[in-house]
Structure 1
């Protein structure tokens, strides 16, 4: 069984993990960490294909006026360990019989709308979180948490629209 003190201590010996894990980077967007640094903002706007056309700050302010930004999962600590399985939908698990191992985790995070029906012995049955783009959030069941993977400012505007005017133009 995992005990966080041992897991994290051992991970420091792994150069790949140590070079990528930045504990100070916030895991979830909140009002406190929503301001982008100038260099990050410039990079992100260039990826969006627009510079200065939309007001990111105003959109984020509206977003947090609709949704609380409490600290989720803040009860973690060295004596409170939760495990998670992140399961893709590529088909690599076919024939693995990892289903029971995957289902034994506290959280099972799946990308997009990964199918489980018919593949339970290999991919498990449990899903606690779906990581999705907004356009994939169609006809989702209410048994899992949806983790919105917002990349475009339009994604944030879409979310605001869904919970206010319900007017979605695209």
Structure 2
């Protein structure tokens, strides 16, 4: 189930537990030599057949919009939240993400890890160019917050187009913009 209500205080309060459970699963998978590391998710945006060899990492709980800060122009969202749920959660606050992919089921973390090339904006750039910070689950089970200017700036810069090879985004803070009632 996608939690589209950013006022869901339970989702925000429980985020750290859910994110750490996922990071622990990442660490267990990475400790197994030769283990395939894919995400176990209900939707895929691949337009070709793909044989599933093994169950993937349990990322299905990381689907919540955690906070919408209208005054500062950002939204905190978990990595597996699809853009349709994110837009649904932000519109009641009078804002939306600066860049939205055309495929509704693309996840926020997936758009960054896969660069979301179909979602460019001539004004705001690519999806990853609207990310202010992200929490990333690393192969050893740690979760680090990376920004363009902290000790993990190299990870922040490397996440776009990494396809999960460096880690998985469990939380992203992305820029929003005000919307009008009609165009």
Tell me if TM exceeds 0.5. Answer: no
Q: Which has the larger radius of gyration?
A: 1
Q: Give TM-score, length-normalised by structure 2.
A: 0.24
Q: TM-score, normalised by structure 1?
A: 0.25
Structure with more of its chain in helix, by fraction: 1
Q: Which has the higher contact order (CA 8 A, sep 6+)?
A: 2
Higher strand proportion (structure 1 or 2): 2
